[in-house]
Structure 1
Amino acid sequence: MIRRSVVKPVLRLGMLLAAIMPVTAAPHPAIGPPRLDTQRIARDRFGNDAAWYENRIPFFDSADPRLDAVYYYRWSLYRAHQRDLGADGYISTEFLDDVGWQLEPYASLNDATGFHLGEGRWLRDRRYADDYIDFMYRRGNDRHFTDYIADSVYGRFLVDGDRAAATRHLAAMRRLYAAWDDRFDASKGLYWIEPLLDATEYTISSIDASGGKDGFRGGDAFRPSINAYMFANARAIARLSALSGDVAGTAAFDARAAALKRRVQDSLWSEPLGHFIDRYKVDNAVVKYWQPIRGRELVGYLPWTFDMVDDDARFASAWAHLLDKDGLGGPAGFRTVEPSYEHYMRQYRYEGARPECQWNGPIWPFQTTQVLTGLANLLDHYRQASVTRADYMRLLRQYASLHYQGDRLDIEEDYHPDTGRPIVGLARSHHYFHSGFADLILTGLVGIRPRADDVLEVNPLLPAASDPQALGWFRMQDVPYHGRSVAVTWDVDGRHFRGAAGLTVEVDGRRVAHRPGLERVVVPLARAAVPPIARPIDRAVQLVRGQFPKGSASSNTDAESVHDAIDGRIWFFPELPNGWSSARSPAAQWYEIDFGKSVTLSRSELAFFADGKDFAAPTGLRFQGWDGRRWSRIGSSGVAPIANGITRARWTPVSVRKLRVEFTQPAAKRTRLVEVKTF
């Protein structure tokens, strides 16, 4: 998620000049390049589930088909991780299936919230991010891990411009911020954390604090991460306080942010290493309080992720370590620790024979996303000579490659920096959502830099056309921004889109700017009201097995399998089975929901999985309702079920205590009902 807090006067002057420069003439000044065929793209990318995406996501097409493929895969990942809690709305999950450290019964974890909101803020359907923020501030943030949720809420406001939504949780933000005082050392003016609770077990600080023997727990340290997060949260609370007219609150949190920035730059910058590093909070037989750690870690770039660093060449020189093949720049991705560290890539922890998660060298998409966000900030509005736009594009493509397992797309937890192969490989690791990608494309490659004022700023981070990392063309369209719909097109010679060569920006279908080259575009943009959020409530969802609503089935009555069909989770990835699976039988199968009381229903949505082998969509459906005395047919039987998408059925509203769905199965096939929803 980009940050716009440290833009120097010289850059602001450049932006102003760009804003008032005349737009290059073109044959049709009000007409932009042709629109992408979004229906075709959605059908090709998402098959029968295309309807979910067509009116929600921004659509992207470029000269790099692998970037395109990963971009659309990441939206399918986002869709898969939306869990419907019924009356409590939607949340985003980190793991598709349950893990032992999640917040029950929701399966939520607060550490990935920044990525979830960073991606979700770009959806035209604002419900997912809105519900998730409500949940996190009502009950979902147990501070299990560090996070930067207030900053993420402000980052969402920069995109949608909805002041009321952004400020409604200010009181909860302040309470949550104050709760972190238990990790604040007033004598140093810095926050500290155990690396495990920073979602980064087995770092230099935790391993060395154990004398090299372990590192899963322990190693409390003043880290760049928690201090950057708390800086970003303080700055966000200050800006949201200003939006609500709270002058005192603005001043108080601005002061907190400024103090943290000074302390990080003064105390966590290592001159010998030329990098931001940890200092120990723990004091034991092997490490001492305030002692610096003995190596560089990738976490040292996080201050740039949140624009916490002064525009100073001394600090910017740290980015050279990212390009060093013997440093943090591994052949396949960013190393979390440099190879010179004594315990680099030493495997301490296993689940059975399989390696478990560690941060002593492996690539983590989690931190890779944060570093690429920081790099985009550096290239956009810092003066430096350490990295180039070509470096950015090469590293973005390198990150995209990690998503591929052969020709299959599946982002996992961590990877070997030399090979790019997954390390953990546990069942829970498939399609892991603790990172971002769509936001990197939108704010970095395409260069939409969200702002709080009535301005649209676009600065694509592409190198010159002669560079091997250049892109000859791209188009991003249907981007929601301040209540408008934005499109950005780059066509180096005008041949691909058969129009004017260069960079074109459109708002609501009309061209508002054109540049012959890759220049920053800054144009005024009058914001419009954002559309209201529709919130239909699924009456069938149940998070706790054994409570109403309850499921039952004609076969395979395993309690967990039966419950999976009403647990609010929908995905069609074959690596992780999800839902109730019937027996293979010529007899009709059924799934039943007992609501425990009378409810009025008028429609249903069913998700069926098919794999071309064992599972196929039913050939027919029939609905029956139980009113407490007898079963009666509901609606017609003319619904045509589809696989790996949503089958919708409607009927005249009826009051029932139970709903039964009967399936006619294809010969020698089984039915997997991923989810059934009722409204």
Structure 2
Amino acid sequence: MMTRATSSCLLLCLLPVGCAGWRSDRVVIDDLLHRPDARHGTLGPSGKRLFAERLDEGLGFRGQFSYIHYAKIADPIMFQPLDWAISSSNHNVFKQDKPFVSATDRVDWFPSHLVTHSRFGRFVVTERKFITDDDTLVELVTVTNDSKVSAECLLQVSSGFARERGPDNTLTGAADFRGVRGHAVLLAPRFALAGNEPSLWRCVGIWPGQSVSFRIVMSFQEDAATAVRTAREWAVRSDPLGHQRAAYQKWFDDNCPRFECDDPYITKLYWYRWFVARHCLSRACTGNLPYPYFFEGTHQPHFPRLVSFSSPHIIAETRWLRDPQYAFGQVSNHCLNPDDTSGFFISARIDEKGGDYNNWIVKAAWEAFKVHPDRQWLASVIEAMSEDVRGTLRQFDRDGDFLPTPRKHGTTGMEYQPSFFYFNENYDDSKPDAPLERGDYAAYLYGNASALAEAWRFLGNSARAAEFEQLAGKIQVACLEKLWDPTDRFCYAVREGDGAVARVREIVGFYPFMSRLLPNEPEYVASLAYVVDPAEFWTAYPPATVTQKCPAYTPHVATWPAAGGKTRGCMWNGPAWPHATSLILDVMAIALREYNQPHVKPEHFWHMLDRYTHLQYENGDLGRPMVTEYYDGQSGSPDPTGCPDYFHSTYCDLIIRQVVGLQPSNSNRVVVDPIPGPLKWFSLRGLRYRGHDLDIVYNSAGAGREPGLAVWVDGRRAAYRPGVIGRVEFDLPAGERLVN
């Protein structure tokens, strides 16, 4: 059952005013997502290029930081107080030879900054620290004498990166970051260089109960002069924390559609997932990656880059931001970084590219265009997207049957799917994996080809449209002839070459529904019964990534119960993966709206959404949202080694399209078709769609408002369905400018 709370539990309050129907205060992201702990050593804010890979305990910015990509910048700011105490009775002076042993009393984590309170002997040190949008580390420090004795405190600032003594009492450092020279300048007003060591010093006298405040800043820039100027600006800026909070909040105010509902878990997770997007946003804008884009994550070496497997999720999610540069930038960067030989999309950093994953980037790009119809942008990327599809077949369809074969199980992005080891005795995963043609790759390629056919037709090129329409048809025929089993009524993987069937049901067997590859006929929709079968995929946190009947199945992370027993960080033999769950939620929604089938019901969709939502809260705690790579499918416990704030699934997109029900199309016809469920009310406001602002509001009969579903366009009510929730449709105002 869905967990419920009254609307008074929410930070927001819906109030009816004027013709726009509903109004609420903006969501203050710091207030909504604040938590009183260190949050696993994460730092919320990131700059255009600078981000924290790991924040360690201790004064200053200790841990590992990165610039542009994973970079191992260790302890960029180290701050240490030393005690010179004066006894109030006899004025004897003594010096403590070693730094204090500290004790952190409290940590308050906010998306825009971190606050810590630590005790160092007689001193209480409060720090407010953050990374600014212009790549500067700012630490605001207050030292309080918590004793009854006057004291002099000797303050030392040093750096693990800026180890050179610079002019005007600064510390400097520089290094090459994948071909980009990065310069850092560290300064602290009223601190001075002393002796020959690369450190800054200041001595302050503090009376009992009194405090002294100061700031330490360190700016990373591509040239030294800019680093100096930026550091000095932050050193003298009035109310730097207020400035940081306002600038950070502005991104959410400017870009995010405002959603809330009577389920506080859904509302909060919706906003948390926009935080994940902002947290992973990179604007290095150099080298191979001149456009803004999003990392898969900011932790571990392989996530802070453009990754082809996570990009479709990222594009789907970020297309709903008001500014299309974010989703479009993800696509455009891929278009600039194809495989040199065959032209298909691969992963990239600013100075290199490589790493192929099966993906549906082209389909996601076309879906983003439907939200922000920019004809000029589409024309600029469609040739590269066409080459991605052609190149995929050139490189991976070795037998010419229109079913590509991934290089190995790892390049599916779904490592250790049991089908790859089906032909080994007892699924022995220590033996080589088989070359397979699978439902996921077929679904992705079919979706990409179908999207290109629509896009080329929109641009007026009927020959190209026919090329990809015919290609999509050939992929569909091949999938139905080779992968579909009419007896089991399931889409299995088959071995390339001899066509031997790997008769193990995996989650990817349902993926063809997400691209509408499977026909709307009883034989094919019968496979949906497996999704909701408790003996197959319907686990405590559905869906399992392989049927529970498989000998290699386990709900647990990093476990292989069959022969071999080889394990690694990513295992797709049963646990719950947000990547797969978000896709299957889409499959269920498509089945409910577009297929004549009796198996998947609205309550199945809502149960899975509820489990998916609660999976992304640590121990089910409403105050601790956190998405990571994957989870135990039985207990919901996360992989303990996983990447926090992992951007490899959708959530906001699901809320907008399936809960609220907006169905994007490349026309001025607006369709809003929510999946009926347990919500008493919801409100989505300020959604930018095809050049217009949409507000969509629903109230049930028990919500205390006039029941029904209403849609406003640019402040005017365009559609209203009284009573129970259901489909509404209408045309956008004629004559609006819909492209740049």
TM-score category of the 2 structures, normalised to the smaller one? 0.5 to 0.7
364-373 or 90-99, larger mean C-alpha shift: 90-99
CA distance in 2, matches of 1:146, 1:259: 19
Corresponding residue SS for 2:548: coil
One-letter code of the match for 1:317? Answer: A
CA distance in 1, matches of 2:312, 2:251: 23
The answer for the alignment partner of 2:584 in structure 1 is 371
Corresponding residue SS for 2:635: coil
| 1:201–1:217 Cα contact (<8 Å) kept | no
Alignment partner of 1:36 out of 24, 37, 41? 24
One-letter code of the match for 2:658? Answer: G
The answer for the alignment partner of 2:494 in structure 1 is 279
The answer for the alignment partner of 2:615 in structure 1 is 402
Q: Is structure 2 residue 298 aligned with structure 1 residue 96?
A: yes
| 2:370–2:665 Cα contact (<8 Å) kept | yes
| 2:328–2:365 Cα contact (<8 Å) kept | no
| 1:203–1:215 Cα contact (<8 Å) kept | no
| 2:299–2:644 Cα contact (<8 Å) kept | no
Is the alpha carbon distance of 1:462 and 1:177 closer, same or farther for their aligned partners in structure 2, counting shifts above 3 Å? same
267-276 or 325-334, larger mean C-alpha shift: 267-276
CA distance in 1, matches of 2:378, 2:300: 30
326-335 or 140-149, larger mean C-alpha shift: 140-149
TM-score by length of 1: 0.68
Corresponding residue SS for 1:205: helix
The answer for the alignment partner of 2:401 in structure 1 is 188
TM-score by length of 2: 0.62
| 2:671–2:728 Cα contact (<8 Å) kept | yes
| 1:160–1:483 Cα contact (<8 Å) kept | yes
| 1:42–1:53 Cα contact (<8 Å) kept | no
CA distance in 1, matches of 2:509, 2:668: 34
| 2:299–2:643 Cα contact (<8 Å) kept | no
CA deviation map 1:602-656 (0-9, x unaligned): xxxxxxxxxxxxxxxxxxxxxxxxxxxxxxxxxxxxxxxxxxxxxxxxxxxxxxx
Corresponding residue SS for 1:168: helix
CA distance in 1, matches of 2:737, 2:263: 35
Moved over 6 A (4+): none
| 2:424–2:431 Cα contact (<8 Å) kept | no
Corresponding residue SS for 2:682: strand
Alignment partner of 2:365 out of 126, 138, 153? 153
Is the alpha carbon distance of 1:29 and 1:505 closer, same or farther for their aligned partners in structure 2, counting shifts above 3 Å? farther
| 1:62–1:474 Cα contact (<8 Å) kept | yes
The answer for the alignment partner of 2:694 in structure 1 is 486
Is the alpha carbon distance of 1:216 and 1:458 closer, same or farther for their aligned partners in structure 2, counting shifts above 3 Å? farther
CA deviation map 1:29-65 (0-9, x unaligned): 9924222222557753567332220111011111111
Q: Is structure 2 residue 470 aligned with structure 1 residue 255?
A: yes
One-letter code of the match for 1:44? Answer: L
The answer for the alignment partner of 1:115 in structure 2 is 313
Corresponding residue SS for 1:478: strand
Corresponding residue SS for 1:255: helix
Alignment partner of 1:76 out of 269, 275, 278? 275
Is the alpha carbon distance of 1:40 and 1:430 closer, same or farther for their aligned partners in structure 2, counting shifts above 3 Å? closer
Alignment partner of 1:443 out of 648, 657, 660? 657
Post-superposition shift, 1:354?
Answer: 8.9
What are the residue-to-residue correspondences of 1:448-597 with 2, within 5 Å? 448-463=662-677, 470-493=678-701, 495-496=703-704, 498=705, 500-516=706-722, 517-526=724-733, 528-529=736-737
CA deviation map 1:475-496 (0-9, x unaligned): 1111111110111111012744
Corresponding residue SS for 2:255: coil
The answer for the alignment partner of 1:18 in structure 2 is none
Corresponding residue SS for 2:19: coil
How large is the RMSD of aligned CA atoms in angstroms?
A: 2.5
Q: Is structure 2 residue 327 aligned with structure 1 residue 129?
A: yes
| 2:372–2:689 Cα contact (<8 Å) kept | yes
CA deviation map 1:4-23 (0-9, x unaligned): xxxxxxxxxxxxxxxxxxxx
Q: Is structure 2 residue 384 aligned with structure 1 residue 169?
A: no
Is the alpha carbon distance of 1:337 and 1:239 closer, same or farther for their aligned partners in structure 2, counting shifts above 3 Å? same
What are the residue-to-residue correspondences of 1:628-643 with 2, within 5 Å? none
Corresponding residue SS for 2:509: helix
CA distance in 1, matches of 2:545, 2:431: 16
CA distance in 2, matches of 1:265, 1:319: 16
Structure whose CA Rg is larger = 2
Q: Structure 1: which 5+ runs fail to align?
A: 1-27, 283-288, 464-469, 533-679
CA distance in 2, matches of 1:188, 1:531: 39
Corresponding residue SS for 1:110: coil
CA distance in 1, matches of 2:604, 2:696: 22
CA deviation map 1:313-352 (0-9, x unaligned): 2211212211111111111221011121112128249xxx
CA deviation map 1:411-457 (0-9, x unaligned): 111111111112x321x521111111111111111110001111110
Q: Is structure 2 residue 448 aligned with structure 1 residue 233?
A: yes
One-letter code of the match for 2:276? Answer: L
Post-superposition shift, 1:251?
Answer: 0.4
Corresponding residue SS for 2:580: helix
The answer for the alignment partner of 2:260 in structure 1 is 61
Q: Percent same amino acid at aligned positions?
A: 24
Q: Is structure 2 residue 553 aligned with structure 1 residue 338?
A: no
CA deviation map 1:233-277 (0-9, x unaligned): 111111111122111100010000111112212321223332211
Corresponding residue SS for 1:515: strand
CA distance in 1, matches of 2:257, 2:281: 18
| 1:224–1:268 Cα contact (<8 Å) kept | yes
CA distance in 2, matches of 1:216, 1:460: 47
Is the alpha carbon distance of 1:489 and 1:251 closer, same or farther for their aligned partners in structure 2, counting shifts above 3 Å? same
One-letter code of the match for 1:160? Answer: H
| 2:423–2:502 Cα contact (<8 Å) kept | no
| 2:280–2:296 Cα contact (<8 Å) kept | yes
CA deviation map 1:559-618 (0-9, x unaligned): xxxxxxxxxxxxxxxxxxxxxxxxxxxxxxxxxxxxxxxxxxxxxxxxxxxxxxxxxxxx
The answer for the alignment partner of 2:631 in structure 1 is 415
Post-superposition shift, 1:97?
Answer: 2.4
| 1:71–1:438 Cα contact (<8 Å) kept | yes
| 1:209–1:215 Cα contact (<8 Å) kept | no
Is the alpha carbon distance of 1:461 and 1:217 closer, same or farther for their aligned partners in structure 2, counting shifts above 3 Å? farther
The answer for the alignment partner of 1:571 in structure 2 is none
Post-superposition shift, 1:301?
Answer: 1.0
| 1:154–1:240 Cα contact (<8 Å) kept | yes
Q: Is structure 2 residue 594 aligned with structure 1 residue 381?
A: yes
| 2:256–2:321 Cα contact (<8 Å) kept | yes
CA distance in 2, matches of 1:95, 1:279: 33
Post-superposition shift, 1:531?
Answer: 8.2
State how many pairs are aligned.
483
CA distance in 2, matches of 1:77, 1:416: 22
| 2:552–2:560 Cα contact (<8 Å) kept | no
CA distance in 2, matches of 1:187, 1:243: 29
Is the alpha carbon distance of 1:173 and 1:330 closer, same or farther for their aligned partners in structure 2, counting shifts above 3 Å? same
Q: Higher relative contact order at CA 8 Å, sep ≥6: structure 1 or structure 2?
A: 1
312-321 or 68-77, larger mean C-alpha shift: 312-321
Corresponding residue SS for 1:191: coil
CA distance in 1, matches of 2:659, 2:326: 25
One-letter code of the match for 1:339? Answer: Q
